[in-house]
Structure formats: structure tokens, C-alpha cells
Amino acid sequence: GENVEQHPSTLSVQEGDSAVIKCTYSDSASNYFPWYKQELGKRPQLIIDIRSNVGEKKDQRIAVTLNKTAKHFSLHITETQPEDSAVYFCAAPNLSNSGYALNFGKGTSLLVTP
């Protein structure tokens, strides 16, 4: 099945700095790459996604880039704030089966210190 690798597993940055989280996927046919944010004890929530026909997408302080040739995509958070502290998950469709479910990376625990 689709194998999604995510790095780093933990990331600590100072408020105002940028944070970058990277993911790789194995199936070149994958076409949809969402990022979810999960605060402690809460539900995962979609923060941004990108489709394979686009190389970059930006939404205020958050951006996602996709390199289809290298099969990796990255989440970029600029001007980080303490409320950005959470676990971030990348995902890609599980094409080995129905293709409708998502395979998630193991997550990156981001800590933004004031």
C-alpha cells in the first residue's frame, strides 16, 4: 500500500521562526495530499491540501509544496505562534485498495516557544 514517511517526528522552534515538515510517498499515482493539525486531546482538522496538478498552495501563514518527481511534499508555517503548537499529519490516498481512504504519516509534534 501507499507508504507515507514523515519527518521530523518532533520540531521545536521559537515564536516568529518558520517550521518545515516533510513527507514522502511511494505511489506515483497519488493525486491528493492533505495536512491535518491535531491539538492535544482533540480531533484532527484539515489545515491545507494540495492536488497533484499544482506545485504549491498558500493560505496565509501556511503553504504546501509538492514535488511529484521526487514524490515528496512539505508543509511550511511562517511566523509561527504558540497556538501553532500541535501534532501535524500528512496523508496520501491508499491506492492499493479502494483509494478512498488516506494513509497518514506518523506525525510531527511541533512546539512553538514564546
Partner 1 sequence: NAGVMQNPRHLVRRRGQEARLRCSPVKGHSHVYWYRQLPEEGLKFMVYLQKENIIDESGMPKERFSAEFPKEGPSILRIQQVVRGDSAAYFCASSLQGGGRTGTEAFFGQGTRLTVV
Residue from 40, 69, 98, 114 in contact with partner 1 (CB under 8 A):
98
Q: Which residues, 1 to 60, sit near partner 1 by CB under 8 A? A: 1, 6, 30-32, 34, 36, 42-46, 49, 51
Size of site (CB under 8 A) for partner 1: 30
Q: At its nearest, how many Å lie between partner 1 and the CB of residue 7?
A: 13
- Of the candidates 24, 9, 26, 13, the residue with the CA atom closest to the CA atom of residue 107: 9
Interface with partner 1 (CB under 8 A), residue from 19, 93, 110, 112:
93
The footprint of partner 1 (CB under 8 A) covers 1, 6, 30-32, 34, 36, 42-46, 49, 51, 89, 93-107
